[in-house]
Amino acid sequence: MFPERMRALRTGARLSLPELAKELNAMAVPYAKRKKTASQIGKWERGTTTPSYLEVRQLAEYFGVSLDYLSGRSYDGFDLSELFSSSAQLTFQTKNLNATARAEIYALIKGYLSGRAQAKYPEEFNLELELDEQTHA
Complete domains list, the chain, with CATH: 2-71 (1.10.260.40), 80-135 (no CATH)
The region of weakest confidence among 17-21, 24-28, 73-77, 107-111 is 73-77
* 58-71: pLDDT as tens digits: 999 999 888 988 88
- Exposed (0-12), middle (13-18) or buried (19+): which is 6, by Cβ within 10 Å? buried
b (16+ CB within 10 A) / e for 67-87: eebbeeeeeeeeeeeeebeee
Can you tell me the distance from the alpha carbon of 113 to that of 122, in angstroms, rounded to the nearest whole number? 14
Most confident of 114-118, 119-123, 133-137: 114-118
Residue pair 89/98 in contact (Cβ under 8 Å)? The answer is no
* 19-64: pLDDT as tens digits: 999 999 999 888 878 899 999 999 999 999 999 999 999 999 999 8
Q: What is the pLDDT of residue 82?
A: 76
The region of weakest confidence among 41-50, 75-84, 88-97, 125-134 is 125-134
